């Protein structure tokens, strides 16, 4: 789930008679916020103290839904429950996204490695991490290298299982100073039996390489700069509204 205050998602949905549109949220919608998500194995969790989600008045709530095919038309009914808190908010949750949208795993390919990285322009505190891939993925790793050269592994999944795409909450927040490089690597095989050639789409019959790191800026005044850098990167991920 994401929030859209640009009107892009509403215009895209109108092109399909108001029935939504077939795309990943981030491929169309420029956003630095994950409003909430669920996948098999995901348990409820709370945001850290003092961290909230920025929700502007009039914004549209955009929900990406994946369903198991039944062979016939089905109706989907969703309900989103919101709980508001009286606690003061010092920083807004911001999603740092890594991955590749220009993804193609050819039939018969083995040990295909997809890498991406970002250098953080400001100091952040990281709370949670989520990898998203489909059936051809074999492993996912993510790490952060601080300016002093120290390196911490943020995520390591040696045997990827697409049925358990759960976010991982760090036992204690990871402090990542300005200049830290966050990197991710996805490894794929397209062997037995090979798919027709998997590309990056919202469909689980295709493939993905997406990593989401949930953060909040250490200094509230740095929020605008972090979001500016993230949105610039997303331009390469996104299909323009056309």
pLDDT tier at 221, thresholds 50, 70, 90: very high
Asked whether the beta carbons of 151 and 145 are under 8 A apart, the reply is yes
The mean per-residue pLDDT over the stretch 32-56 comes to 77
| pLDDT, averaged across the chain | 84
pLDDT tier at 33, thresholds 50, 70, 90: low
pLDDT at 239: 40
Do you find a cis peptide bond into 196, omega within 30 degrees of 0? no
Q: Are strands 91-92 and 51-52 parallel, antiparallel or unpaired?
A: parallel
The mean per-residue pLDDT over the stretch 172-188 comes to 96
Q: What is the pLDDT of residues 124-175, one digit of tens each?
A: 999 999 898 888 999 999 999 999 999 999 999 999 998 777 788 999 999 9
pLDDT at 241: 32
């Amino acid at each position: 789930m994401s929030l859209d205050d640009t009107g892009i998602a509403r215009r895209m949905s109108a092109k399909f008679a108001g029935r939504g549109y077939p795309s990943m949220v981030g491929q169309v919608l420029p956003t630095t916020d994950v409003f909430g998500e669920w996948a098999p194995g995901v348990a409820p969790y709370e945001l850290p103290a003092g961290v909230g989600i920025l929700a502007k008045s009039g914004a549209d709530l955009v929900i990406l839904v994946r369903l198991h095919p039944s062979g016939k038309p089905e109706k989907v009914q969703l309900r989103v429950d919101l709980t508001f808190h009286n606690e003061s908010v010092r920083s807004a949750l911001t999603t740092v996204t890594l991955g590749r949208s220009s993804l193609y795993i050819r039939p018969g390919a083995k040990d295909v490695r997809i890498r991406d990285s970002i250098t953080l322009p400001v100091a952040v505190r990281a709370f949670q991490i989520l990898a998203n891939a489909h059936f051809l993925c074999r492993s996912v790793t993510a790490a952060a290298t601080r300016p002093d050269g120290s390196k911490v592994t943020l995520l390591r999944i040696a045997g990827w299982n697409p049925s358990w795409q759960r976010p991982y909450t760090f036992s204690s927040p990871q402090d990542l100073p300005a200049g830290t490089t966050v990197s991710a690597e996805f490894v794929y095989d397209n062997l037995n039996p090979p798919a027709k050639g998997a590309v990056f789409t919202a469909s689980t019959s295709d493939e993905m390489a997406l990593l989401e790191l949930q953060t909040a800026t250490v200094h509230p005044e740095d929020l605008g700069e972090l979001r500016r850098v993230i949105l610039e990167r997303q331009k390469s991920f996104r299909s323009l509204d056309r």
